[in-house]
Structure 1
Amino acid sequence: MNIKLIVLFFSLYCLFFVASILFPIDFNWYNSLHKPSYTPSGKTIGIIWAFLYSFISLSVCIVVSMVESFKKAKWFFILFIINYIFNQLFSFFQFEQKNILLATIDCGFVSVTAILLAITAYKHSKTSFILLIPYSLWSIFATYLNYNIYLLNI
């Protein structure tokens, strides 16, 4: 087993939690919002994201292990960085700024870049692609959910 890939996996996994540390959920505010009946509990959402972050991190590690140089997977890594930034900005917009509309728009960008990331991953590894499918689907659902939370709280 390659120690560098293990370190990369855990580093990426931990990086996904930066926003939750910098912009923690304001539970009083979030619980006061009107939400659709299909909204998962906060605990469920947390568990889903923990799994998704591990899938994303593993997907990146697989691509890293498959390519000989950064240039061979340049677009994959660029999309990953863009997606990561949008992913982290969601917590800023939603919980720091309490701007549900901006958070929803950002969530849409997360969805689009997650789908593009999965498509790009397919060129390097079908396993990496498969690992990104749940993230893409969840991002689409999260965008739809957040949009409906926005509508219920205008």
Structure 2
Amino acid sequence: MKPWQSLIVFIVLVLAASLLGGLSVPDAWYAALDKPAFNPPGWVFGPAWALLYALMAFAAWRVYRISGFDVAIALWLAQLLVNALWSPLFFAMHRIDLALIDIVLLDLLVVATTVAFFRRDRIAGWLMTPYLAWIAFATALNAAIWSLNQG
């Protein structure tokens, strides 16, 4: 496969994850939830995720070009799947608790992916760090929303 073709594959994969997550969006249920003071405005999420998905695709592409399909790319695919499941759990099923479990698993997978990427290509590892920071924040946000809305 030519380099640009494999880049397109990674872009398509993140777009598919984004579209799956985008099928479940905030609704009246979400609007009625108590949220912490650090909850960002809704408009932040779209641009943030667009940038993060682009960085994730480019990082995976760099690692793929160096190592092919190996453990690092398998971890990347696993975290992408877990990422895509969060929105349906949270927004469609209204399961803040299951979404919290999902995002903690996502944190672990992204840490493992980032470490694996750093071992293969430092630039790819650095490209994953904004995503790691964002999901750490999202985990704290998910946990706070769960805590504020129990009972």
Q: TM-score, normalised by structure 1?
A: 0.89
**How far off is 1:81 after superposition?**
1.7
Runs of 5+ in structure 1 lacking a partner? none
- Structure 2 CA distance for aligned equivalents of residues 5 and 19 of structure 1: 21
CA RMSD, aligned part only? 1.6
- Structure 2 CA distance for aligned equivalents of residues 13 and 143 of structure 1: 20
- Structure 1 CA distance for aligned equivalents of residues 78 and 11 of structure 2: 20
8 A Cα contact 2:14 2:80, kept in partner = no
Q: Which moves more between the two structures, 55-64 or 74-83?
A: 74-83
Q: Report SS of the residue matched to 1:93.
A: helix
- Structure 2 CA distance for aligned equivalents of residues 145 and 85 of structure 1: 20
Runs of 5+ in structure 2 lacking a partner? none
Q: Which moves more between the two structures, 44-53 or 8-17?
A: 8-17
- Which of the numbers 140, 148, 153 marks the counterpart of 2:149? 153
Q: TM-score, normalised by structure 2?
A: 0.91
Count of matched residue positions in the alignment of Structure 1 and Structure 2: 149
- Equivalent AA in structure 1 for residue 64 of structure 2: V
In the TM superposition, what whole-angstrom CA distance separates every residue of 1:42-70 from its partner, at most 9, and x where no partner exists? Answer: 11022111111111001011111222x43
**How far off is 1:105 after superposition?**
1.1
In the TM superposition, what whole-angstrom CA distance separates every residue of 1:95-116 from its partner, at most 9, and x where no partner exists? Answer: 1110001101111111111111
- Equivalent AA in structure 1 for residue 104 of structure 2: G
Provide runs of 4+ in structure 1 moved above 3 Å.
Answer: none
8 A Cα contact 1:16 1:53, kept in partner = no
- Structure 1 CA distance for aligned equivalents of residues 4 and 77 of structure 2: 23
- Structure 2 CA distance for aligned equivalents of residues 124 and 65 of structure 1: 10
- Structure 2 CA distance for aligned equivalents of residues 150 and 98 of structure 1: 11
Residue 7 of structure 1 corresponds to 8
In the TM superposition, what whole-angstrom CA distance separates every residue of 1:58-95 from its partner, at most 9, and x where no partner exists? Answer: 1011111222x43xxx2112211211111011012101
- Equivalent AA in structure 1 for residue 8 of structure 2: V
